[in-house]
Chain A
């Protein structure tokens, strides 16, 4: 009893963590299922069918490919634009700085349905047909603010004396930026890009307002499938993305650990 009281926080924390991971475990386990009907909700028997044939459901790999392409481009553009904005806010005093901050904050405070539907009214009013381009515009929009906030936090935590030291050692501003500032801000930019990709890859609500039947992203495919039956391949792709994310973050951690060691 005393042991439980002493470790109350740990027990509660680990219980919450298992609540968070439970659906992922279900997704992984059911990727080895062989369901009876169209719906993969009840365990029948072990099978590797879906793993040996991940594109076996029509349209699933096209949707995955579109999501990866959209995610890649949206991440690239929003990371570049967002990093530039973050440097402007983090490094300069200028007129309109607080309204700029507000403009960055507002998209994060807008519910996704409202953002998606207002973009749709704009596209309708301008006569732009929905498709891959409108999806990209929307994704870059909602990723941008999150990149700015993440990179800005990193810039704020930098020691300005490091750049002054570079200047004292006769680095010109460009060299100081490339050799000193950019490497120091890089972890923040990487975190922002990772966040942007996960937001873009996972978005359903905003995408749904700005997509056409010929531009089906992976979340839209999952949604459509869930109305008719859920193919096991969905679980396979969900599992692969989960493991890829774990691997990616673990690698990043290793690299930064090694850097910290060589620096010390």
Chain B
């Protein structure tokens, strides 16, 4: 640990710090930033270069600026890109719908039980998420009580009608994948929302009530606008990993639910077509950056980063 010598400046009021530029911040930054540059920036450039190379695993690759790889990758895999964005989008909306009441409840209603409930939100993280996703296979299994309930209430017919399932079961369907994505990324929505709603001044809500606003109107005119930074942070933390996820579609889906992360995984590790895999990764990153930039601008919270 480097000694934070600059902190001494508060005692040396007469001597402005500018005269003697401090190297302390750079020394503190050096190891961490070096790690990020060597193992994040350089690999990203290496990925970009890989996507424009031709060759194969046996003979090695040469950089030929082969942009055709991108055209082929897009024309091959556009349904997977579209599906990933749609699934991640629906899952993000659902997590927002589910996370909002729970975050509001923990932040504003429970008093001294707050920490206990927060622990219950975070603790599932420690059981491997693969194990928890496998547990959804048990929950949604054909002979289970959940499917029986869904059948008796004709929920299965409804899901089939909107084409989220193919038959009267729930597993191995679009429904199961979206359900898994929603479940897995819920804490990433709850924590930023909670952090925001905890600071919400309750007297503002009371003031709205005093001015004869209905509870619904109070929510839309006071609570919701004030919570927008939390909403934006939570949706980004949910949407980005959900769009690249392939665990849920592999464990809970079928051949009709293959997402783009699965394509990248198999192109790299099974097909070993590194150039195509790199091109697909790069396009995914570009799509996410464009969506996020557009969304953050619309939501008007540029200071987020």
Binding site for B on A (CB under 8 A): 9-10, 12-14, 16-17, 19-24, 26-27, 30, 40-42, 80-82, 84-85, 87-88, 91-92, 94, 100-115, 117-122, 124-125, 137-138, 140-141, 144-145, 148, 160, 163-164, 167-168, 172-174, 176-177, 181, 198, 201-202, 204-205, 208-209, 218-219, 222-223, 226, 230, 234-235, 238-239, 241-242, 244-246, 249-250, 253
Q: Cβ of A250 and Cβ of B46 under 8 Å apart?
A: no
Within B6-55, the residues touching A (CB, 8 Å) are: 6-8, 10-11, 22, 24-26, 28-29, 31-33, 35-37, 39-44, 46-47, 50
> Given the interface contacts A23-B136, A112-B241, A209-B269, does A163 sit within 8 Å of B7 by beta carbon?
yes
Determine which residue in B4, B31, B99 has the highest number of CB atoms from chain A within 10 A of its CB, and name it. B4
Q: Cβ of B135 and Cβ of A26 under 8 Å apart?
A: yes
Q: Cβ of A114 and Cβ of B285 under 8 Å apart?
A: yes
- Contact among A81, A198, A246 with B32 in the assembled complex (CB-CB below 8 Å): A81
Q: Cβ of B138 and Cβ of A26 under 8 Å apart?
A: yes
- 20 of the cross-chain contacts (CB-CB < 8 Å) are A10-B109, A16-B102, A16-B186, A21-B120, A41-B141, A91-B7, A108-B237, A113-B281, A114-B244, A114-B284, A118-B44, A120-B268, A125-B50, A164-B11, A201-B128, A202-B125, A202-B128, A209-B268, A234-B131, A253-B119
Tell me if B200 is interfacial: C-beta within 8 Å of chain A.
no
Q: Cβ of B4 and Cβ of A16 under 8 Å apart?
A: no
Q: Cβ of B261 and Cβ of A113 under 8 Å apart?
A: yes
Besides A113-B261, A222-B134, 19 new A-B residue pairs in contact (Cβ under 8 A), listed by A number:
A16-B101, A20-B187, A24-B132, A26-B135, A27-B135, A42-B143, A80-B1, A88-B25, A101-B305, A109-B288, A111-B288, A113-B264, A113-B284, A163-B7, A204-B129, A226-B130, A242-B127, A246-B119, A250-B119
C-alpha spacing A26/B136, complex, angstroms: 9
Binding site for A on B (CB under 8 A): 1-8, 10-11, 22, 24-26, 28-29, 31-33, 35-37, 39-44, 46-47, 50, 98-99, 101-102, 104-106, 109, 115, 117, 119-139, 141, 143, 183, 186-187, 236-237, 240-241, 243-247, 251, 261, 264-265, 268-269, 274, 277-278, 281-282, 284-285, 288-289, 292, 305
